[in-house]
Amino acid sequence: MAKLSRGKYAQAISDRSGLAFPYKEMVTEWNGSFVHNSEFEPKQPQIQPTRFTGDPQGLMNARPARVEPATENLLPGNPLSLISGSSTVTVTEPAHGRATNDTVVFRNVDGSPGGLAYSLFENSSGFSITVIDINSYSFNCGSNATVTENSGGMFVTAGPVTLTP
């Protein structure tokens, strides 16, 4: 194998200044430049990448996914339709999304729908419904109406048996 020179009299050209310096006094910078040790510049701290360790804390104002609680729906004016001599009540609730055998509780019923007491419709255990179409359903109130009418008032609400606050 060939012997290399020891560099006693060897010189090298600096990449930064272009001047000749003794070979033994030359160093390589972080960017690969071959420079004299008097011209050496260390790597800037801003260039040093910081080690990513992850976020040790939770996010501020985080909004975790949750299931919305059941709420009451405000029905259109006079949503209860009763026919004299029948105990079936038809309720108008646009786009109700309910299914047959769901239990619905009515609140804020005004007057005496179909000649029956309003308290009959505000049964705390609710009524099992039968879906007619996308905008209406019916239930059996247990008493026959004495008047054929659409009634109930302007602020009738329909909702689940229990509401979560």
Domain boundaries along the sequence of the chain: 11-43, 73-159
CA distance 87 to 139: 8
CATH topology of domain 73-159: Elongation Factor Tu (Ef-tu); domain 3 (2.40.30)
pLDDT of 57 reads 72
Percent of the chain's residues with pLDDT above 70: 94
Characterise 9 by phi-psi region: left (phi > 0), alpha (psi -120 to 50), beta (else).
alpha
Reported as a single tens digit per residue, the pLDDT across 82-110 is: 998 998 999 999 998 889 999 999 999 98
Give the integer Cα–Cα distance in Å for 9 and 158.
100
Average pLDDT, rounded, for the chain: 86
**Tell me, what's the pLDDT at 34?**
95
Q: Which of 160, 155, 149, 154 is nearest to 90 (CA)?
A: 149
> Where are the strands (E) in the chain, listed by range?
11-13, 20-22, 26-28, 34-36, 73-74, 80-82, 88-92, 103-107, 127-128, 130-133, 136-140, 149-151, 157-159
**pLDDT recorded at residue 164:** 52
Is this prediction's pTM over 0.75? no
Q: What letter would DSSP give residue 11? A: E
Give the pLDDT band of residue 58 (cuts 50, 70, 90): confident
Q: Is the pLDDT of residue 52 over 80?
A: no
What pLDDT digit, counting tens, does each position of 106-120 carry? 999 988 887 888 888
